[in-house]
Amino acid sequence: MAADQKRELEHEPFACECSDPDCHQPISITAEERDFVRKVPSRLIVKVGHANQENERVLMEEPGRFQVVERF
């Protein structure tokens, strides 16, 4: 397997970006997934269930791993 393909499959440690300032729970995400979400600066990666329904909209979920949210 080429180094680039291996990098795309490896999960990297990533801290939850939810609105709780005390939350630092780890999220399992690949570099490719993270880079895809980061193409839109207003999108955040949070642990499943950590979205704040009052000011965030869940755009997608990778079941059991993470959600992508957008603040409004």
Is the pLDDT at 6 greater than 90, yes or no?
A: no
Degrees to nearest 5, angle at CA 44 with 42 and 48 = 150
> Which of these, 50, 63, 57, lies nearest to 19 by C-alpha position?
50
| Stronger pLDDT, 33 or 8, i.e. the higher one | 33
Domain extent, residue 34, equals: 8-71
Asked if the structure places residue 15 within a domain, the reply is: yes
Domain count, the chain: 1
Asked if the structure places residue 34 within a domain, the reply is: yes
Asked if the structure places residue 3 within a domain, the reply is: no
pLDDT digit string, tens, across residues 9-65 = 688 889 999 999 999 999 999 999 999 999 999 999 999 999 999 999 999 999 999
Asked if the structure places residue 67 within a domain, the reply is: yes
Asked if the structure places residue 40 within a domain, the reply is: yes
Asked if the structure places residue 28 within a domain, the reply is: yes
Say what the pLDDT of residue 60 is. Answer: 97
